[in-house]
Amino acid sequence: MSDPQITHELPTPPIAAPPLDRSLWKPNAVELAFLHEAISEDDEVVKARMFEVQEKSYKDYPYPCIRAFHFVSLMMRENAVYEDVLKRGKAGDSYLLDLGCMMGTDLRNLVRDGYPAQKLIGCDLRDNYIKAGYELYRDEATCGIKFLTGDMFDIVPGSPAQGTEETRSGALDLGKVKQLNDLRGQLSFIYTGALFHLFDEPTQRAIALRLCTLWKRAPGGVIFGRHQGRKEEGLIPDHMGRLRYAHSPSSWGRMWTEVVEQLEGEGSGESLRVRAQLGAAPSGVPSDSTMLYWSVERI
């Protein structure tokens, strides 16, 4: 199978990132209620723990979303498909992966909303971010979510039949899952928040190909997320000198159709429903940015 050219993220941005700014923390009422429940009713305790985790994590890699406190924002629930995913997750045997989960805030909120913790998986490239989540929420001994460290580019694109013996059998024991390739063809739901826009266009296509490799081939499955988008697709002016690409709603839909047909055969893209809509960027990022909120569903 032809794999698009992959350009990995640079170890450090070409242009130095701006310093942290605590005034950027502006939680809404729902987010604050979650943090009070998950951390402490005392705002000072919440802030002290959050600021400590932020400083450590920003040293690992200065992502703008860390500076803007998006690691404690409930971004997943802003997607139009969230309530449907939640409802189906409560009712069935549906596994959900948050790829690029950082501290795991969205996953913990999913549990708070009623999604079974034993059906949730969080994966991040940086193990320090997962550890930071345990430090922030002090729940390592009680959290039922499966977290693992892994590189999405290690996923071998192809059909589930090319996976491990466990994935070929159709069984999934999260206790035995050690890498992303163990999830081939097993996931009903996959979420990626602020992930695709870190890369150029061919690399985004390569990511989509890998997500489809993990995606269960059954009606009702959803891949959804958000990232920076544009009315007309093209390169993103980046304040840290990174090479990044933004899709438009229409180009985003075309990419998914092409990727699914590459993986599953001609005409298979007709079984997809792609929804993509531009919206305002969250707080703490350049005001002229727009976010693409999207979902890809098997019908």
CATH number of the domain at 200, please: 3.40.50.150
- Check pLDDT > 70 for residue 104: yes
Q: Which of 30-34, 124-128, 183-187, 279-283 has the lowest mean pLDDT?
A: 279-283
The verdict on residue 223 lying in a domain is yes
Percent of the chain with pLDDT over 70: 95
The verdict on residue 134 lying in a domain is yes
Neighbours of 107 (CB within 10 A): 25
CB 205 within 8 A of CB 4: yes
- Check pLDDT > 60 for residue 266: yes
Handedness of CA 30, 230, 67, 189 (dihedral sign): positive
- Residue 170: the pLDDT is 56
Select the more confidently predicted residue: 164 or 172. Answer: 172
CA angle 42, 45, 47 (to 5 degrees): 110
Domain housing 279:
75-298
Q: What is the C-alpha separation between 180 and 107, in angstroms, rounded?
A: 17
- Check pLDDT > 50 for residue 168: no
Main-chain dihedrals φ then ψ at residue 247, nearest 5 degrees? -85, 155
Q: Give me the number of domains the chain comprises.
A: 1
Q: What is the pTM of this model?
A: 0.95
- Residue 126: the pLDDT is 98
Q: What is the C-alpha separation between 102 and 278, in angstroms, rounded?
A: 24
The verdict on residue 224 lying in a domain is yes
pLDDT class for 22, splitting at 50, 70, 90? very high
| pLDDT tens for each residue of 5-14 | 999 999 999 9
Average pLDDT for 163-181:
74
The verdict on residue 222 lying in a domain is yes
Average pLDDT for 84-97:
95
- Residue 148: the pLDDT is 98
- Residue 159: the pLDDT is 76
Q: What is the C-alpha separation between 299 and 297, in angstroms, rounded?
A: 6
CB 292 within 8 A of CB 249: yes
Q: What is the C-alpha separation between 145 and 4, in angstroms, rounded?
A: 32
- Check pLDDT > 90 for residue 288: no
The verdict on residue 23 lying in a domain is no
Strand 120-124 and strand 96-99: pairing? parallel
Give the count of alpha carbons within 13 A of 176, CB side only.
Answer: 9
The verdict on residue 237 lying in a domain is yes
Q: Which of 26-40, 69-83, 150-164, 198-212 has the lowest mean pLDDT?
A: 150-164
The verdict on residue 171 lying in a domain is yes
The verdict on residue 1 lying in a domain is no
